[in-house]
Amino acid sequence: MPPLATTSTIKLLARYNETVNAAMNKTIARLADQEWTGNLGGFHPSVKALCAHLYVCDLNWMKRLGDVRPFRTLSHRCFAAHHPWDAVLIEDVDDYLTRRRELDALLTEFVGEFEEEDLDARLRYIDWRGTLQDRDVAGLLLHLFHHQTHHRGMISVYLEILGHDNEFSSLVPYV
């Protein structure tokens, strides 16, 4: 069976993720406090809640994927502490924008360290529900980027509700 993804695919998704997050964050930077924290009705009820969720999940997935082998990127100080999956690690918009920019650069660097044989590896871990998982590393990396895309879509809907034009969905410029 062919691999789920190649290193070039994963690197493309990392570049896309970093670039599109930067574009989306230009809009987020202009939000008023009430727009940032206001309840818009979703499971993650505010733009802040969605951004906080994405941040901690990306951080935790990168740390989890670090069990494949040692990765230089994961020696960065932001990976030192353990954080529950539902932790809110961001304070305000400025804090989020700084942390997100840093984490996106680290994610791009991290993905750049993967070799084809890493993608073929299996990763055993306990998920947030306490269930043992045994998954293909390439599939987990695809999940990480799919999760980002899914929640960027939710943020985009919230921004539309708030009256902010946005468009963060096209992968076409990157292929």
C-alpha to C-alpha distance for 62 and 86, rounded to whole angstroms: 16
C-alpha to C-alpha distance for 47 and 55, rounded to whole angstroms: 12
Cα dist from 80 to 83, 105, 108, 140, 159, whole Å:
10, 17, 19, 21, 33
Choose from 18-22, 46-50, 151-155 the range with maximum mean pLDDT.
Answer: 46-50
In the chain, the amino acid numbered 83 is: H
- Asked if 21 and 104 touch (Cβ cutoff 8 Å), the reply is yes
Q: What pLDDT score was predicted for residue 166?
A: 80
With 90 as the cut, is the pLDDT of residue 167 above it?
Answer: no
Per-domain boundaries in the chain = 7-174
Which of 1.20.1250.20, 3.40.605.10, 3.40.630.30, 1.20.120.450 is the CATH number of 7-174? 1.20.120.450
- Asked if 89 and 102 touch (Cβ cutoff 8 Å), the reply is no
Q: What pLDDT score was predicted for residue 106?
A: 98
122-126 vs 132-136, strand pairing mode? antiparallel
Q: What pLDDT score was predicted for residue 147?
A: 95
